[in-house]
Amino acid sequence: MKAILGIALRSAWSRRGTLALVLLSVALSSFLLLGVERLRQDVRENFAQSVSGTDLIVGARGGSLQLLLYAVFRVGGATNNVRLSSLEEIARHRAVAWMVPLSLGDSHRGFPVLATTPGYFEHFRWGDKQPLRLAEGRAFSGDLAGLYEVVLGAEVAAALGYRLGDKLTLSHGGGEMPGAEHADKPFTVIGILQRTGTPVDRTLHVSLQAMEAIHLDWVAGVPLPGQKISAEQARAADLTPKQVTAALIGLKNRAAVFSVQRAIADYEAEPLMAVLPGVALDELWDVVGAGERALLAMSALVAVVSLAGLVAVVLAGLNERRRELAVLRAVGAAPRHVLWMLAAEGALVTLLGVLAGTAAVAMATVLAAPTLQTRFGIGLRLAPPDATQWALLGAVLAAGFLASLVPGWQAYRLSLADGLSPRA
């Protein structure tokens, strides 16, 4: 077979124009296949990285997936709030180590605002149990002196160009209603968090009391007419929050997680629920999984089409190559040599295509990573292919080789039938 390999290479090189097009289509399909798989993995990884060290998420009774989505990913909203007193009672359960209440609903230029306690910065963990760290400044203290203080996620600061000491105002709700600005109570940036690659980056953090203060003169989502409470007057008011959206809970011992979950579900004063983040994430994958599979199936189809193109191109060129095959036969090549020559050509084109596709994925990762990070909060990593991705690449290669056996076999039959005198 060594005899024919060099000839196969030269022969392929002489038809490089056509083969380059085939190579391109194979590259494109492996780019898609690998890219979709890589994106899928990285998105999952990102989601899974978003919360760690939190044993339970507590909210009003409803869908557990919905609770996870708004409490961790700031997507969607809660149908019902939770009384803070209930949460404080739960926090006194002997198995609970800490409880961090979360209050959501306001925004700043499209970025969600999270009202919480200073304990959030202490207890919240992401990725591999990593704590939040400040890149600049400090966290808010939660007392009256620092009432209008805000700590920005890395992405908020980067995208909007905020620095320590800058002033900003919050919008009521998602900011979709004009005039629903808490313009009278501006906040001062006192801290900027380090980048985490999680929804924290896109979040503005204020204290629960601040959240109360800016809503003192609001009822049911609109400012009370004729009633104005200035930022200073608000300090004197009772700023103890009555209700929050959800809470994160950490346990002293993870083994107690199901008994605490049950205790919360059985809480009598209010209908509550608690979800395990991991379980809720699995539920999320179940929902997203169908879409992912559809995408992957589409990419697989593209791969099949491009390999069919490979076969078609090589087959179409075969008739013109009958002379070449007869010459090879005349100098001593056997039909099996001819078969291997075409199979080797297909395999080589597929291999180069797959390599080019892989390189393109790496390049696209590098180029697209900043945009994806800022626009969607998805952190792409440049990493060697994992087992699944290797399997995909291997499948494309194997399919390419098998596909090129088709023209190889055709050439084998042709050169047997033609012998030394092709009737072309």
Shortest distance, position 405 Cβ to other proteins, whole Å: 19
- Cβ closest to other proteins, residue 6 vs residue 384: 6
CA distance 172 to 180: 5
- Cβ closest to other proteins, residue 213 vs residue 414: 414
Tokens of 280: 């809720």
Q: Which of 34, 31, 15, 32 is nearest to 349 (CA)?
A: 15
Shortest distance, position 327 Cβ to other proteins, whole Å: 6
> Under the criterion CB under 8 A, does residue 333 sit at the interface with other proteins?
yes
Place of tokens 């999270």: 114
- Cβ closest to other proteins, residue 59 vs residue 335: 335
**First and final CA of the chain: distance in angstroms?**
27
Helix (H) or strand (E) segment spanning residue 58: strand 56-60
For residue 7, the one-letter residue type is I
Exactly one of 3, 256, 368, 369 binds other proteins (CB under 8 A); which one?
3
Shortest distance, position 322 Cβ to other proteins, whole Å: 10
What residues numbered 361-420 form the site for other proteins, per CB under 8 A? Answer: 417, 419-420
Shortest distance, position 5 Cβ to other proteins, whole Å: 10
CA distance 343 to 340: 5
> Under the criterion CB under 8 A, does residue 337 sit at the interface with other proteins?
yes
Binding mask 4-33 for other proteins (x = CB under 8 A): x-xx--xx-xx-------------------
Helices of type H across 124-219: 154-160, 208-214
Shortest distance, position 419 Cβ to other proteins, whole Å: 4
Helix (H) or strand (E) segment spanning residue 204: strand 204-207
> Under the criterion CB under 8 A, does residue 324 sit at the interface with other proteins?
yes
Residue 105 CA, distance from chain mean position:
23
> Under the criterion CB under 8 A, does residue 332 sit at the interface with other proteins?
yes
Exactly one of 85, 233, 371, 421 binds other proteins (CB under 8 A); which one?
421
- Cβ closest to other proteins, residue 11 vs residue 243: 11
Place of tokens 């939770």: 82
Give ∠ CA 143-146-147 in degrees, rounded to 5.
80
Asked if 310 and 26 touch (Cβ cutoff 8 Å), the reply is yes
- Cβ closest to other proteins, residue 139 vs residue 341: 341
Exactly one of 334, 351, 372, 402 binds other proteins (CB under 8 A); which one?
334
- Cβ closest to other proteins, residue 175 vs residue 317: 317
> Under the criterion CB under 8 A, does residue 328 sit at the interface with other proteins?
yes
User: How deeply is 45 buried, as exposed, middle or buried, from its count of CB atoms within 10 A (0-12, 13-18, 19+)?
Assistant: middle
Helix (H) or strand (E) segment spanning residue 208: helix 208-214
> Under the criterion CB under 8 A, does residue 326 sit at the interface with other proteins?
yes
Helix (H) or strand (E) segment spanning residue 23: helix 16-49
Residues of this chain that bind other proteins (CB under 8 A)? 3-4, 6-7, 10-11, 13-14, 323-324, 326-337, 417, 419-421
